[in-house]
Structure formats: C-alpha cells, structure tokens
Structure 1
Amino acid sequence: MNEDDFALENPVKGECFLLRSGARSAENATNARASLFAERDCEGPSMLVTRPGRSARFGTAVPRSVRFD
C-alpha cells in the first residue's frame, strides 16, 4: 500500500494503521471498506473510501493512515 509494500490480511475493523511513507496507490483486497486519511491517526475527514476490490492512485496529497470498516 505504500513504498514499503504494506499489506494486511483480514485487518481488525476499526483499527487505525499507519502508512509511514504515505501511499502512492492503494488496492483494497479485503471484504471491508478502507477509509484513507491525510492525518497519521485516522482522524479528520477521510480523503477517500475504497470499497472491496477497488484501487486508487494518489498524486501530491497522499494518505498517511487507513482504517477498515
């Protein structure tokens, strides 16, 4: 999910995961919605919500954390 190839299998719903380097792209291969946030603590408005099976690419504004709901 980021430059460090961050991947999760069956993530805990509601838990916030830090994307240390920020994500340049994201692929949601889970069965839950992924909410991506500009802030490192999954606070504030989400910048994007991806449904299961969807992916996204980011430009200059990159997400710093993700939470699955």
Structure 2
Amino acid sequence: MSVTASNIGVMVVDDHDLVRRGFASLLSAQQGIEVIAEVNSGESALEQCRQHHDDIDVILMDVN
C-alpha cells in the first residue's frame, strides 16, 4: 500500500479491539487520512513499521 502525497498515513495501536476499530473507522472516514495498519501490541506495531516505514506518518498508540 502506498500513501499518496496528500494523505497522512496512520497506524492505530490499541490492545482493546473495539477502541482500535473505532478509531480506525473514524480516521478512515476523514479526507486526507489513510489507516495503514491496525494492531494490538507494541511488537506488532514494530513489525508494521518495518513493513510500511515509508507510508506511516503518525502512530496513534495506547497499549497497557
């Protein structure tokens, strides 16, 4: 997946599925924002950062 120059690529990291999906849904509905990944742990977030390092501009993270 490649984010266009005008879009902001976001990764949502939250260990609560409902919260993570809710944030991703709200963000995806916004013009100019593209959710690149949704993950539930810091380890998964690091893996996604390695895979999508050129596309992720912002990480929204809340993991206990």
Give the TM-score band, short-chain normalised.
under 0.3
Query: So what's the TM-score if we normalise by structure 1?
Result: 0.27
**Looking at both structures, which has the greater relative contact order when contacts are Cα pairs under 8 Å and sequence separation is at least 6?**
2
Higher fraction of helix: 2
Q: Which has the larger radius of gyration?
A: 2
